């Protein structure tokens, strides 16, 4: 009986961890946390999809808009990867 319970417990912990990671990754990209947590709990490979998706909006400390072209770039970048323009320093950066 104990051999049967352990794999089920491992599976439960695995999907809950995948859901938590998916929620954190979604929050870092300005997406719906609850929806992505549930989706990643049900289908853990969706974590890869969230990882490669571009953010939807500015996220304090993670992503900001370029002052020239308006594309989203990483918060700490000093040069835009799209238009190669210099970016002003951000106040309160996490680096």
Top-confidence residue, 9 or 94:
9
So what's the pLDDT on residue 95? 44
pTM of the model: 0.64
Q: Which residues pair with 74 in a beta bridge?
A: 63
Q: What is the Cα–Cα distance from 67 to 57, expressed in whole angstroms?
A: 14
Q: Is residue 4 scored above 80 in pLDDT?
A: no
Q: Which residues pair with 86 in a beta bridge?
A: 79
Domain edges within the chain: 2-53, 57-95
SS3 29: coil
């Amino acid at each position: 009986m104990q051999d049967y319970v352990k794999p089920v417990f491992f599976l439960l912990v695995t999907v809950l961890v995948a859901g938590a990671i998916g929620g954190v990754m979604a929050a870092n990209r300005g997406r719906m946390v609850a929806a992505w947590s549930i989706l990643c709990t049900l289908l853990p490979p969706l974590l890869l999809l969230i990882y490669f998706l571009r953010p939807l909006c500015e996220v304090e400390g993670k992503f900001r808009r370029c002052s020239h072209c308006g594309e989203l770039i990483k918060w700490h970048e000093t040069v835009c990867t799209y238009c190669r323009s210099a970016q002003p320093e951000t106040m309160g950066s996490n680096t």
